């Protein structure tokens, strides 16, 4: 049993060192141009994507509030005051 543990530890050490050797530093992506940002904002306005996110945000907040109020009834009592 001890030999199997040593073999497993050795495999983990080899995998970790291989990852460290071959994983280079992350490269930052270039910033989008002002024209690309303006086009993206215009596209979001045209398709009305912000309206969809507003309704999702409201639904998440209402659901979270309902869950918290069900879990702790003292919150409902303090929010009514």
Burial of residue 30, with CB atoms counted within 10 A of its CB: 0-12 exposed, 13-18 middle, 19 or more buried: exposed
pLDDT score for 78:
60
pLDDT score for 45:
86
**CA–CA separation, 54 and 28 (whole Å):** 31
pLDDT score for 79:
54
Q: Which residues of 53-70 are buried (b: 16+ CB within 10 A; e: fewer)?
A: eeeeeeeeeeeeeeeeee
Mean pLDDT by 10 residues, the chain (81 residues): 73 80 77 93 84 81 89 71 49
Burial of residue 5, with CB atoms counted within 10 A of its CB: 0-12 exposed, 13-18 middle, 19 or more buried: exposed
pLDDT score for 38:
94
């Amino acid at each position: 049993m001890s030999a199997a543990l040593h073999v497993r530890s050795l495999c983990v050490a080899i995998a970790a060192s291989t990852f460290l050797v071959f994983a280079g530093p992350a490269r930052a992506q270039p910033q989008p141009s002002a024209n690309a940002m303006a086009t993206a904002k215009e596209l979001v306005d045209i398709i009305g994507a912000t309206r969809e996110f507003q309704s999702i945000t409201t639904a998440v907040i209402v659901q979270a509030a309902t869950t918290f109020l069900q879990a702790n009834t003292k919150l409902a009592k303090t929010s009514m005051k």
